[in-house]
């Protein structure tokens, strides 16, 4: 899959942080999984976890030899989004900049469509 067809952006900052976090683990197959669940103050919320499994239908995006994985159900809410890692007043964290969200909560961890 070439870059023009990838429906999700995985920034260098996020990839570098994932690489740093998994270096201490004894599992080179770990990837950052981004998913959507119901809940949060806006209706949906983003979740992040490390996973060494790729399931049928999952989208995998590689950057700097590390991977980001999204399941098909979550991907429908994340098309065109950017997964980034930021250092800010609220601390350091992974964030999603989602053009599909009609509103987000103050902390950015939940959204509505």
Residues making up the annotated binding site are 41, 105, 107
Please answer whether residues 106 and 112 qualify as being in contact, where contact means their C-beta atoms are separated by less than 8 angstroms.
Answer: no
The encoded tokens of residue 100 equal 């599909």
Distance of alpha carbon 97 from alpha carbon 71, whole angstroms: 18
The DSSP bridge partners found for residue 66 are 63
The encoded tokens of residue 78 equal 């994340």
Q: Annotated binding site for iron-sulfur cluster, which residues?
A: 41, 105, 107
């Amino acid at each position: 899959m070439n870059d023009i067809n990838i429906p999700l952006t995985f920034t260098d900052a996020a990839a570098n942080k994932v690489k740093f976090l998994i270096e201490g683990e004894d599992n080179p197959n770990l990837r950052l999984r981004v998913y959507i669940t119901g809940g949060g103050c806006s209706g949906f919320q983003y979740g992040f976890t490390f996973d060494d499994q790729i399931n049928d239908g999952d989208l995998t995006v590689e950057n700097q030899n590390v991977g980001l994985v999204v399941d098909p159900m979550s991907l429908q809410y994340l098309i065109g989004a950017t997964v980034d890692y930021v250092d800010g007043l609220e601390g350091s964290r992974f964030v999603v900049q989602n053009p599909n969200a009609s509103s987000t909560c103050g902390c950015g961890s939940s959204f509505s469509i």
